[in-house]
Structure 1
Amino acid sequence: MELGLHFADFTWTGGAARLGPDLARAAREAEAAGIARLTVMDHVWQIEHVGPAENEMLEGYTALGFLAAHTERVLLHTLVTGVVYREPGLLAKQVTTLDVLSGGRAGLGIGAAWFEGEAAGLGLPFPPTAERFERLEEALRICLQMWGPDEGPFEGAHYRLARTLNSPAALRSPHPYLLIGGSGERKTLRLVAQYADACNLFPGPETAHKLDVLRGHCEALGRDYDAIEKTTTLTVTPESTREQLLRQLTGLRELGFTTAYVFGAGIGDPRTTVDLLGSVVADVAGL
């Protein structure tokens, strides 16, 4: 099992003036501790279950570029980008740029978007659910086309690109890591089976059923179910202990997850989360 450090709460003790230095140091120490991935949310306001909207939030792709400059080995991606917040041609270019500048360490985490309040607040598009899923599939197709050799046009119901030129090409082969977030059985998990390298699901009583649904979509599409990475998220708090975390991670592995993205909630120094994760890296590697 692999561990990722997910930066979701930037309300740290040092305030805005210390965000850059503290984030850089946490990233370097996480990599040194053997944590394999660093991720950020792709939100412009804080989300409700982490804190009030007014709390500090960094723009995702700027933050990933900063993290790339302070690390050498970890995988970098959002968890996850709301498809309607960026035109997919530009999104594919952003991820490609991150991949090239990081030495082939970029991924794209993407989903259909859900936070209508922040979209309305900053004037971002937020069409109805059905349309967002249509746009999600088209965006996936555009990204994969731009990450491949075909630079021809793309004609979809929502997006029309005259030439999908993308130079320089991504370094990661065959393309940047592609993760889809969400657990919808009819649409999201079918998109995972058809297009993605990984899914991201919330853990719970429905996990086994959701994975069975994904397996069914894979069988219908002729996709190898085992080739798809099953990832999830886990929250730690100031009260979390090494033993508790290890039990939780063991339980997640038993559910079928192969990667856990862990974030610290209500923790004033991100290095506290790094230290906790670092203490279990060797244990979970054998799970």
Structure 2
Amino acid sequence: MELGLQIPDFTWAGGPARLGADLAAVARAADEAGFAYLAVMDHFFQIRSVGPSDHDMLEAYTTLGYLAAHTERVKLFTLVTGVLYRHPGLLAKAITTLDVLSGGRAILGIGAGWNEEESRGLGFPFPPTKERFELLEENLRYVQQMWEEGDEPFTSKHFAAERLLNVPQSLQRPHPPIMVGGGGEKKTLRFVAQYGDMCNLFNGPDLEHKLDVLKQHCENEGRDYAEITKTVYQPLDIGPDGEKADELKAELERLRGLGVDAAIGFLPGVPDLRLIEKFANDIIPAAKELA
């Protein structure tokens, strides 16, 4: 099983003046520790489940470019981008740029978006749920076409583009992996089967059911369920002194038994590099041994 480190909070003891150096150190440590993925949120305000809205929050793709310069191996992505924040042409160009400059390590994580507070706060449109899912599917179609050879036009209900020129193209072909985040059974998981390479689900009591729903969508779409990388959002809490390590290892083993390929989540205590070192010495080797 692979593991991914998500960094959801940038309100660190050193403050903004130290944030660049501290973040670079965390990225290097995570890369050297053997994490397979390194992720940030795509938000402009801090989300309520993490902290007050006025806590420090960095723009996602600027941050990922910075992380790319301080890592060599780890895959980089947002968990996940809301379709409301960027035109799909800009989004595809940003992911392509990240892929080229990182040596082929970009992933597109994308979802319908949900944070009305920050959208209203900064003046982004926040359409009803139905329209957000229309935008999600159209974004998925748009970016896939932009990663194809050629520069044909694109037309949909919400977008009209005359020439999807994308030069240079992504290093990963036919395109960087696409993660569709969320567990909606009628649309989100169907979009995974139709357009995605990865899914991301919450580790809740309905996880096994969600995986079964995805499997059925794959059958309906003629898609091999095994082709989808199944990832789960799972806090990577080992405790300040590693006292919760065995509990986490047991949970990772359970998830692997359900067919989960990767667990991605925050490590409480970051940016304390000692916690990443403990994780590297204990949890990551154990996870790699899970069949």
Distance 1:247 1:208 in 2: 17
Contact 1:146 1:166 in 2 (8 A): yes
Corresponding residue number in structure 2 for 1:58: 58
Mapped partners of 2:248, 2:12: distance in 1: 22
Q: Which amino acid aligns with 1:218?
A: C
The match for 1:280 is 283
Cα displacement (A) at 1:264: 2.7
Give the letter aligned to residue 123 of structure 1: G
Pairs within 5 Å for 1:104-183:
104-183=104-183
Within 2, Cα distance between the matches of 1:45 and 1:179? 23
Q: CA deviation at 1:286?
A: 1.6
Which consecutive unaligned segments of at least 5 residues does structure 2 have? none
Shift in Å at residue 244 of structure 1? 2.3
Cα distance between partner residues in 2 of 1:223 and 1:81: 24
Q: CA deviation at 1:277?
A: 2.8
- Look up the match of 1:43: 43
The one-letter amino acid paired with 1:141 is R
Contact 2:23 2:271 in 1 (8 A): no
Q: Is the 8 A contact 1:8 1:41 kept in 2?
A: yes
Question: 1:259 corresponds to which residue?
Answer: 262
Q: Distance in 2 between matches of 1:8 and 1:277?
A: 18
Cα distance in structure 2, aligned partners of 1:97 and 1:235: 30
User: Which amino acid in 2 is paired with 1:263?
Assistant: F
Q: For 1:206 and 1:276, locate their aligned partners in 2 and report how far apart those are by CA, in whole Å.
A: 31
Deviation at 1:236, TM superposition (A): 4.0
Deviation at 1:185, TM superposition (A): 0.6
Deviations 1:177-226, CA, capped at 9 Å, x for gaps:
11000111110000000000000000122111111111111111100001
Could you tell me how far 1:173 is from its partner in structure 2? 1.9
Which residue number corresponds to residue 273 of structure 2?
271
Alignment of 1:205-224 (within 5 A): 205-224=205-224
Paired residue secondary structure (1:5): strand
Residue 242 of structure 1: which of 228, 245, 251 is its match?
245
Aligned position for 1:227: 227
Q: Structure 1: give runs of 5+ residues left out of the alignment.
A: none
AA at the equivalent of 1:124: F
On the 8 A contact 1:11/1:268 being kept in 2, the answer is no
CA distance, structure 2, for counterparts of residue 282 and residue 229 of structure 1: 20
DSSP-derived class of the 1:230 partner: strand
User: Structure 1-normalised TM-score?
Assistant: 0.96
Task: State the Cα distance separating 1:256 from its structure 2 match.
Answer: 2.4
Q: Distance in 1 between matches of 2:38 and 2:272?
A: 12
Equivalent position amino acid for 1:65 in 2 = G
Taking only aligned residues, the RMSD between alpha carbons, in angstroms, comes to 1.3
